[in-house]
Amino acid sequence: MFGFGTYPMTWKALFIRFLQCFLLLVPILVLQPAHMAGAQEMSRKTAASAGGCPDLIDLIKNITPVVVNISIERHVLQNTSQPQRPVRAHQRSLQDRFKNPDRLQNDSLGSGFFCDAQGHIVTNAHVVEGASKIVVTLSSGRVLTATVVAVHPKVDLALLRITPPHAVQKARIGDSTDIQVGQWVLAVGNPFGLGNTVTVGIVSGKGRFLGLGEDDNFIQTDASINPGNSGGPLFNMAGEVIGVNTAIIASGKGIGFAIPASYLAELINMRRTDEPIVRGWLGIYVDDVDERKAKDLGLATPRGTVVDEVLKSTPADNAGLIRGDLIYDVDGTTIRDGRHLSRVVSGAKPGDVLRMKVMRGKKARSVDVVIGRSPE
């Protein structure tokens, strides 16, 4: 006999009690895994909606087919007194550019991506510079010969052409003008023929000037730009190309740069015409505003750029701009410094009229300037 409290229980009563308890536990045991799975799914959705890090598997599958590997062969003069070690990868860093601007190479590797379905490929100009033969390896493994169609005169971009053996997937070009610091991006390349490589990071800065050209306007990212990734695309989370991976600072970890996609339209249009790219021109030299100049001009903080010299018979001269004018706004765009003004003006077409807000002395005025053609 077994009892609970003062009530004796027979074997039959004990079995009935056990069966009752078991039936109460069954729904809990059966339903709990489903409940936990639902909670996990809800947690994932909540994390994604709250700005978490969802899987990128589907996105990567969609964008990687547009990326290709690029290798070149070039004829070089070698010093026969010393054996030359073949260079198997070309990664243009800022230090390399200044220390070894003309490094001899037998073989160069980079990346590129299809910008249309006709076989046009965007890459860096330095990847194919001096090439006697350009070899493109598709994501399918097919190897084809490419030719250079166009080279951008201002930034490190080149347009190649292959005859595709099958239908190719083209990249979607996004808008790089509205990118924000902190935005998630993916750097994709096909280094060394190993296959597509994807790294993830954020936009660390924009409008970076590196001293490599007058049109420097780089996107800075901490998404690793691996050796061999030069010329590969920088994607946003919508799967759109917003930049072309170009440079790294060899001494800094997680500091890479991409050319904004806004330059791609100019490059791609060059294949349709032999006419050179025409950029707007003002005809002035400027000097940036520091704390002292801002104080002299009565500004609370430095902004805009000061005209240092006006060239004769130029758009600026014809509009009446003079030395000492502070240009702080162009068609509603607040001017940060001289480089910013240069990019705004060069983005205009000859004949466009830009309304500039100018501080002359301590009086504000508006000046309408008819933009001219940039002299080569």
204 is catalytic: no
| Set 126, 152, 222, 224: catalytic member | 126
120 is catalytic: no
CB 344 within 8 A of CB 369: no
Residue with token string 């074997």: 11
Measured distance CA(290)–CA(297) in Å, rounded: 11
Cβ neighbours for 215, distance < 8 A, ≥ 6 positions apart: 154, 155, 263, 343, 346
Query: Quick count: other Cβ atoms within 10 Å of Cβ 348?
Result: 19
| 3-state class (DSSP) for residue 356 | strand
**Residue 182: HSE in the Cβ half-sphere, 13 Å Cα cutoff:** 1
| Set 111, 230, 342, 346: catalytic member | 230
| Set 93, 156, 224, 342: catalytic member | 156
The DSSP 8-state label assigned to residue 100 in this structure reads -
H/E segment holding residue 240: strand 240-248
CB 370 within 8 A of CB 350: no
**What are the phi and psi torsion angles at 288 (to 5°)?**
-70, 160
**Residue 215: HSE in the Cβ half-sphere, 13 Å Cα cutoff:** 17
The DSSP 8-state label assigned to residue 223 in this structure reads S
230 is catalytic: yes
| Cα angle 172-173-178, degrees, rounded to a multiple of 5 | 130
The DSSP 8-state label assigned to residue 122 in this structure reads E
Measured distance CA(129)–CA(336) in Å, rounded: 34
Burial of 99 (0-12, 13-18, 19+ CB in 10 A): exposed
Residue with token string 């166009």: 150
Nearest CA to 96 among 283, 306, 247?
247
Residue with token string 């994607």: 235
Which residues are designated catalytic? 126, 156, 230
